[in-house]
Structure 1
Amino acid sequence: MLDIEQALNNILESILPLGAESVDIAEAGGRILAEEIRADSDVPYSDNSAMDGYALRAEDIRGASDAAPARLTVLEDVPAGTVPTKTIVPGTASRIMTGAPVPDGADAVLMVEHTKKLDGEMLALASIEPGANIRRAGEDIKKGTLLFNAGRELSAADIGMVASAGYARPLVYRRPVVGVISTGDEVMEPSAPAGRGKVRNSNSYTLLALCAAVGAAPKYLGIVADSRPALETAFSSAAESCDVIITTGGVSVGDFDLVKAVLGDLGKINFWKINMKPGKPLAFGTLGGKPLFGLPGNPVSTMVAFEMFVRPSLLKMMGVREILRPRLQAKLACEIIEKPSRVKIIRGVASRKKTGVTVTTTGEQGSGILMSMSLANCLIVMPDGVGKLKKGDIADIIPLDNFPL
């Protein structure tokens, strides 16, 4: 029986990042950079106005006030997107809009609220210091600055930075196409009426959502009956059209072994027992050179196995540097009693308090109780050989996506 860490290391050793592709910047949000991003110019490119007002020399309006305004000749209007044509000299100003380049000779911008417009002139009703209301060239980004390294997931703010740096089509890692297959004559689509001996296909749709949440491109390949020709056709087709294949069902001892036989014939597959509960049976290998994960059929086992093994593998394929969820510690708000064998992955609900993080279980922990995963915001890790954790003990937890910040 393999330890969790040993199994994960074995898997990750065979996983490589996919190739890169250039995408339109409008579609790059959430993607993983495959190149470093450096600014091709200063941002802002030149000194520009932070306000609507008048570009002028601060010295010309020193001491100005409502009672004693300073009168200046207006040379021109400088809207955003245009370039000033006049140089500011003593006794002059140019009307300027937010974002417009500051004219040569000006060292400040007086807000329009502190002015009065006249015919060809303006009155300054306040004084300001040199540099006031001017955004300097390179204030945000200096030319040549390294903004992001490869491996960064691009947020909305990052996209703005990439655009400012002049990258219209950044290079990002490809999203793995993940084919999801459910097997078994008993499995039916959610639209089918419930019936004795049948089970609705919750696993496939759970896995599709999990893959999408990671940033992969899930592809539903349907339910495949317990027929050798049908299984061979489905698995071979998946290997041709997908980067990764996930199957559910048929990997535990005592299950109908047709799935295992077909996978063993078509690819190089290892059927492992993992020192973990739930999720003890796991198949991993390659089919047509593509990674294949054969997950157990119980819904909770499927999700836990995905979290522990598939998720980090997909992230590595997408070029992500930090592929493992962090481990935190929390104080137990309840007692947990389990059989001491294997590492137990308990579904938990954590909350933050002034004294730290506390956690309790979601209730019943059977591998078929999908509600336990729906309620959970973390996984409590109960070590091998430990059968009891007392209320108040400190436990290791793995935060999930909905973990409280």
Structure 2
Amino acid sequence: MIPVAEARARILSAFSALPAETVALPDALGRVLAEPVVARLTQPPFDAAAMDGWAVRAADIAGASADRPVSLRRIGESAAGHAFSGILRAGEAVRIFTGAPMPGGATAVVMQEDCADDDSVVRVGRAVTAGRYVRPAGFDFSERQELIPAGRRMTARDVALAAGANVPWLSVRRRPRVAVLATGDEIAMPGDPLGPSQIVSTNALGLCALIATQGGTALNLGIARDSAESVAAMAAGAVGCDLLVTTGGAAQGDYDLVRDVLADKGVSLDVHAIAMRPGKALMFGRAGSVPLLGLPGNPVSTGVTGVLFLRPILRVLQGLPPDDPGGPQRARLTTALKANDRRQDYLRATRSTAADGAALVTPFARQDSAITSLFAQADCLVVRPPHAPAAQPGDMVEIVPLTGGSCNL
């Protein structure tokens, strides 16, 4: 058996970032930038009011107070989209609203709460310094300024920023196209009639959902039956995709046909026995021109290996590092764990927060690779290295988050 890190390194070395394509800004959520977003204008494009009130010359009201207000002549109004076109001179004031352009000659804004006015006069009851409640031109960003770097997955906040920078089109990495093929006479699609020896297929739909959350486009090829003809015919549907993912058929059983069928066609396959639990059997190679990743058939084994191998492949194809930035995460155990054997364990677990703010993690008592209900409840995996000694409550352990994807805010 080979270590998990070695298997990941071998597999990921076969992939690189996909070419770029241009998309409209409304379609950019979750896409990874191939080129940075550069502002096409200065924001704000003019000195703007940061508060509703009165635009004044600060020198005119230097001595103003609530007891001794300074009277100024009211000469007009400046609202968002409707700037005051004149020039403010000594002893004058302009009614102004948040976001509106500052009149020429004005140096500050006095909040409306500190003023009283009638049709012709404004009485200012507070002195302000020059620049008070004024957002200068370029306060947010300037034209030609790089706002969002290449290699970033676009969030909703990024979309809003690009819109404010007047950028209608973005260069992004093409979405990975991934074909998914489940195998086995024993499985049927949800809602289909079940035979006496059949169970509902979960792996393909779960993998398609994982692919979508990571920014890819999934093509569900359906279920290949336990015959060489069925496997070969359905695997051919992956032509033109960036990756073919199969579930089941990668081990050594009599009905594990994926490996044998593709090998008979001269396909290059590297079958690994990986020192991990769950998910020992894994296959990688090429099915014609399409890279192939063969995952185990047990549903939790499929899910865990999908997180550890498929998710980083999708990230690399989009020009991202294989794993989320920041390095491994750690948390404090709440329960004891026995010593580990020669395989690296990935225990399904939930996270919480201690009273002191520390991250806590609680592995489930049952870790069978067929218990999908607990895998759905988990929000992380606790990593137990090979031959790890027994651990006690309070010990720190490495965790792999099960959250994160293409639609973060």
* TM > 0.5: yes
Mapping 1:180-329, distance limit 5 Å: 180-240=180-240, 242-264=241-263, 265=265, 267-321=267-321, 323-324=323-324, 326-329=327-330
The CA deviation at 1:392 is 4.8
The answer to whether the Cα contact below 8 Å between 2:44 and 2:138 also exists between their aligned partners in 1 is yes
- Aligned equivalent of 1:381: 383
- Aligned equivalent of 2:369: 367
The CA deviation at 1:387 is 6.9
- Aligned equivalent of 1:350: 351
Instruction: Call closer, same or farther: CA 1:389–1:72 in 2, change over 3 Å.
Output: closer
The CA deviation at 1:37 is 2.5
Mapping 1:5-404, distance limit 5 Å: 5-65=5-65, 67-240=67-240, 242-264=241-263, 265=265, 267-321=267-321, 323-324=323-324, 326-337=327-338, 340-353=341-354, 354=356, 356-386=358-388, 388-401=390-403
The 2-side partners of 1:369 and 1:292 are apart by 26
Q: Give the match's secondary structure for 2:153.
A: coil
User: In terms of mean alpha carbon deviation, does 203-212 or 227-236 score higher?
Assistant: 227-236
The answer to whether the Cα contact below 8 Å between 2:21 and 2:171 also exists between their aligned partners in 1 is yes
The CA deviation at 1:305 is 0.9
The Cα offsets for residues 47-73 of structure 1, whole Å up to 9 and x where unpaired, read as 111122221212222333455443323
The answer to whether the Cα contact below 8 Å between 2:272 and 2:283 also exists between their aligned partners in 1 is yes
TM norm structure 2: 0.90
User: In terms of mean alpha carbon deviation, does 119-128 or 80-89 score higher?
Assistant: 119-128
Aligned positions, number: 401
Counterpart of 1:262, as a letter, is V
Counterpart of 2:378, as a letter, is A
TM norm structure 1: 0.90
The 2-side partners of 1:30 and 1:316 are apart by 15
The 1-side partners of 2:200 and 2:403 are apart by 25
**What are structure 2's unaligned runs of at least 5 residues?**
405-409
Counterpart of 1:395, as a letter, is V
Q: Give the match's secondary structure for 1:159.
A: helix
The Cα offsets for residues 53-96 of structure 1, whole Å up to 9 and x where unpaired, read as 22121222233345544332333322212343211111222222
The CA deviation at 1:282 is 0.7
Instruction: Call closer, same or farther: CA 1:109–1:360 in 2, change over 3 Å.
Output: closer
The answer to whether the Cα contact below 8 Å between 1:362 and 1:375 also exists between their aligned partners in 2 is no
The 2-side partners of 1:109 and 1:386 are apart by 65
The answer to whether the Cα contact below 8 Å between 2:180 and 2:204 also exists between their aligned partners in 1 is yes
The CA deviation at 1:301 is 0.8
The answer to whether the Cα contact below 8 Å between 1:316 and 1:323 also exists between their aligned partners in 2 is no
The answer to whether the Cα contact below 8 Å between 2:238 and 2:290 also exists between their aligned partners in 1 is no
The answer to whether the Cα contact below 8 Å between 1:32 and 1:153 also exists between their aligned partners in 2 is yes
The CA deviation at 1:391 is 4.7
Q: Give the match's secondary structure for 1:310.
A: helix
Cα-Cα RMSD: 2.4
The CA deviation at 1:266 is 6.5
The answer to whether the Cα contact below 8 Å between 1:55 and 1:96 also exists between their aligned partners in 2 is yes
The 2-side partners of 1:220 and 1:43 are apart by 45
Counterpart of 2:75, as a letter, is L
The CA deviation at 1:310 is 0.8
The Cα offsets for residues 329-380 of structure 1, whole Å up to 9 and x where unpaired, read as 3343333347613222222233332273343321222222223312322212
The 2-side partners of 1:105 and 1:290 are apart by 67
Percent sequence identity over aligned pairs = 36
The Cα offsets for residues 142-173 of structure 1, whole Å up to 9 and x where unpaired, read as 44433222111222222222223332112111
Q: Give the match's secondary structure for 1:88.
A: coil
Counterpart of 2:209, as a letter, is A
Instruction: Call closer, same or farther: CA 1:99–1:329 in 2, change over 3 Å.
Output: closer
Counterpart of 1:233, as a letter, is A
- Aligned equivalent of 2:407: none
Instruction: Call closer, same or farther: CA 1:392–1:132 in 2, change over 3 Å.
Output: closer
Q: Give the match's secondary structure for 1:8.
A: helix
The answer to whether the Cα contact below 8 Å between 2:268 and 2:285 also exists between their aligned partners in 1 is yes
The 1-side partners of 2:114 and 2:393 are apart by 66
The answer to whether the Cα contact below 8 Å between 1:363 and 1:372 also exists between their aligned partners in 2 is no
Instruction: Call closer, same or farther: CA 1:78–1:360 in 2, change over 3 Å.
Output: closer
Instruction: Call closer, same or farther: CA 1:324–1:86 in 2, change over 3 Å.
Output: closer
